[in-house]
Amino acid sequence: MPIGLSIFAFLLFYFSTKPQHEVFDYTYRVAGAFLKGRLGFSEPQPSWLNEFVPMRGSYYSVFPLGAVLANLPLALLAKMGLIKGFPARALASALAAACVYFFFQLSSVNRNSFPRRILLALFPVFATWTWCNLGFAGAWQIALGFAVLGETAALYFTLLKPRPLVAGAWFALAVGNRTELAVTLPVFLYFWIFGNAVPEAQPELSLKNRLIQNWRPIGWFLLLPIVLGLCTAAYNFARFGSVFDFGYARIPNLMTEPWYSHGLFSIKAVPWNMQKMLFEGFGDTPTFPYFRFYPFGCSIFLASPFLFLLFREGGKYRVASWVMIGVLTFVLWYHGNPGGWQFSYRYATVLLPWMFLLISGNGPKKLSITELALFVVSIAINAIATYQFLWTSEIHP
């Protein structure tokens, strides 16, 4: 069933989206340079790729190493002559399908009924802003897709089918594409020390004894993320002379933009991000569907009324989920720009695995009428947004 559901998701996503941002293929281009033994380019890149940083006679991408490595298989296929150009639409659809697969698998965390598991598996991709934003299929959106896939798979191989090395690999994929996800590491370690991932652990064991008993799975989980972290540090140093410098602030003219007047990250950015993520509404129009989305953000709860289910009581992982939602939200709000051209608040995509874990555990095991109604409304809103943003010229700055 999960394979069939994933195929359905792939086809639905592929034929309902139009990759308007496929020309922004930063990570795919750099992956191709890697295969030639280079970290960047000696020649200027096309004018629309204005986030390449000129440095010591070369041009470097500001995307983290993990985002580039995730595109290496595609670059290899291109080098072998099996594909031509960045297959943005197919890649975005494959990411959507893979997310649906792992969300379905993760939905068994609460012994949910089969119909409820299907609905839960589809909700993060098609009943939220993910549908529209991932459908743009630029390097930024693709990186978010990889990050959500990595988070979800890491949770599955931690909580339901404990495989520390595999979980660590997926976690590395998530952090490699969205560096802020490193703040979720303590919760993953908590799961490995105290949670279902260590079935042999006894409740009466002290923290010290648990660490001694479980040092092997913890070590295997950390292995690949540590390797990626060290490689990322070397990658940063080779490009910009500092292990902590990803180069984003070096993008030409970026820091002259008004929203970065207090720096790339600032507490002063929190109110604007908060307003865009939680309180921004819709515009209106005299013709069907009688509302129009703003191109630079709107409330995630208006974009996906299904998320109101977050506030039900209960759920085995409710504390961990809320902690991660809160911590990640603050990190996202600290960024000077709320996300630019987007539907709703695209940065909140990385919250969805934790929102999913919360909703799948705090509701009834059988699908309820309330859940179905909220799901249908959310699907309709995001289908309209996907159509307006990707297939029409109705949305304007």
Residues 6+ apart with CB under 8 A from 299: 277, 278, 279, 280, 281, 344, 345
Asked if the structure places residue 326 within a domain, the reply is yes
Asked if the structure places residue 395 within a domain, the reply is no
Asked if the structure places residue 397 within a domain, the reply is no
What are the E-state strand segments in the chain? 53-55, 58-60, 283-284, 291-292
Would you state the pLDDT for residue 201? Answer: 44
pLDDT band at 196 (very low <50, low <70, confident <90, very high): low
Asked if the structure places residue 270 within a domain, the reply is yes
pLDDT band at 204 (very low <50, low <70, confident <90, very high): low
129-168 pLDDT, tens digit each: 999 999 999 999 999 999 999 999 999 999 999 999 999 9
Ranking 4-18, 77-91, 192-206, 258-272 by mean pLDDT, the lowest is: 192-206
Ranking 92-96, 207-211, 257-261 by mean pLDDT, the lowest is: 207-211
In the chain, % helix, strand, coil (3-state, to 5) comes to 65, 5, 30
Q: Which of 183, 176, 187, 186 is nearest to 224 (CA)?
A: 176
pTM score, whole prediction: 0.94
103-133 pLDDT, tens digit each: 999 999 888 899 999 999 999 999 999 999 9
Asked if the structure places residue 356 within a domain, the reply is yes
Full domain range(s) for residue 357: 2-390
- Three-state secondary structure call for residue 75: helix
Position of tokens 């290899």? Answer: 76
pLDDT band at 212 (very low <50, low <70, confident <90, very high): confident
CA dihedral 49, 50, 52, 57 (to 10 degrees): 110
Say how far apart CA 270 and CA 273 lie, in whole Å: 5
Asked if the structure places residue 319 within a domain, the reply is yes
* Count: domains in the chain: 1
Cβ atoms of 314 and 170 within 8 Å: the answer is no
Asked if the structure places residue 359 within a domain, the reply is yes
Asked if the structure places residue 248 within a domain, the reply is yes
Residues 6+ apart with CB under 8 A from 336: 259, 260, 262, 263, 264, 265, 266, 269
pLDDT band at 197 (very low <50, low <70, confident <90, very high): very low
pLDDT of 286 above 80:
no
